[in-house]
Amino acid sequence: MDLLNFYKNKRVFITGHTGFKGSWMCKVLELAGAKVTGYSLKPPTKPNLFELAKIEDGLEKSIIADIQDLKSLKQAMIEAKPEIVIHMAAQPLVRESYQDPVFTYGTNVMGTVNFLEAVRCCPTVRSVINVTTDKVYRNNEWEWGYREIDALDGFDPYSNSKSCSELVTSSYKKSFFADKDIAISTCRAGNVIGGGDFAKDRIIPDCVRAMEKNEEIIVRNPYSTRPYQHVLEPVCTYLLLAQKQYEDISFAGEYNVGPDDQDCVNTGTLVDLFCKYWGNNAKWKNICEVNAPHEANFLKLDCSKIKSKLKWQPRWHIDEAIQMVVEWSKSYLQKEDINKVMLSQIKYFIEKNEK
């Protein structure tokens, strides 16, 4: 497995390692034999994947600290001596951003500034990935996918703060890294689903919680179309890009990471698939919220750039992604070995990816 072979004994620094995506990335790197230092706040939910899958056991070091603490972050990165750094620490929820915009901007904007400042002070770094979101674009409700050259202007505080994170990265690249042999990219991923997401106000966690309680699933807006993809799609793509630009700096840039058009489905279709694979007469109902905060109705990415430059393709269609979610979630509810399920899904994904 080429991806895993590359990361064997590589020193990697990850912010946001206690989160949902961060935990999956740490598990992939544990399988590869990488030497990983994580830097993050405590896991954001209870329960959480970080603790369930014993992610800390596979790390060289886990640091619980705030990305807004520049001194602490710089010291941690310098001591870790990473070759590759991946920035995933964020306040990632749209609705939360309406409730606490100051924290959202502080974490997502100044957190990016602090992260890049720490990179400036760390002489070992060669490859940098800043993970943002598909929501960075000015959403015109187009029926075609947004490209990397389209305008950045997220509407809500979360989306807008991630647009700012993109602009901060662009400025730092031009102002401080133009004459350095450090490759820096940003990745704009679609809506991520997968086992172990316990966040509030996300459709798959809501589905699993309903199944746990033997209740109908509540869907707020079944007609919203999103680029849904399994968490391993973006996680392994971040790692692939970090590898490619480590080997050749010309790969650095801005990239969309999302599913093909046939897998951009509305929320109602997603939940239909969940109910189909869950079985046990699972069902859902549409509950329209009054005075709900603004969220885009239609969002899709054009991933032509990353397909062309990295020869990349998404591997799991939405059906298979949902099956993997159901497999993980049933294992969790039945108190089976979560670590075993994760490693099995990772190996299956990477083997299919490299055929």
| pTM recorded for the entire structure | 0.95
Beta-carbon contacts of residue 218 (< 8 Å; ≥ 6 apart): 206, 210, 284, 285, 287
| Cα 343 from Cα 350, distance rounded (Å) | 11
Lowest mean pLDDT among 140-144, 181-185, 222-226, 277-281: 140-144
pLDDT at residue 351 in the model: 84
- What domains, with CATH codes, occur in the chain? 7-290+298-353 (3.40.50.720)
- Per-residue model confidence as pLDDT tens digits over 108-125: 999 999 999 999 999 999
| Residues 22-37, mean pLDDT to the nearest whole number | 98
Over 60: is that where the pLDDT of 354 sits?
Answer: no
Question: How far, in Å, CA of 353 to CA of 194, rounded?
Answer: 17
Strands 61-64 and 183-189: unpaired
- The conformation of residue 218, written as its DSSP 8-state character, comes to E
Task: State yes or no: pLDDT of 299 exceeds 60.
Answer: yes
State pLDDT tens for residues 140-197: 888 889 999 999 999 999 999 999 999 999 999 999 999 999 999 999 998 999 999 9
Cα 186 to Cα 8, 183, 196, 233, 257: the distances in Å are 24, 10, 25, 16, 10
- Using the predicted structure, report yes or no on whether residue 32 has a pLDDT greater than 90: yes
* Residue of 225, 207, 254 whose CA lies nearest to 142: 225
Strand ranges (E), the chain: 11-15, 35-40, 61-64, 84-87, 127-131, 183-189, 192-193, 217-219, 225-226, 229-230, 254-257, 265-266, 284-286
Tokens of 252: 């650095």
And the tokens for 165?
A: 């994170």
CA gap 252, 126 in Å, rounded: 11
> Using one digit for the tens of pLDDT, what is the confidence trace for 131-144?
999 999 999 888 88
**Residue type for position 290:** V
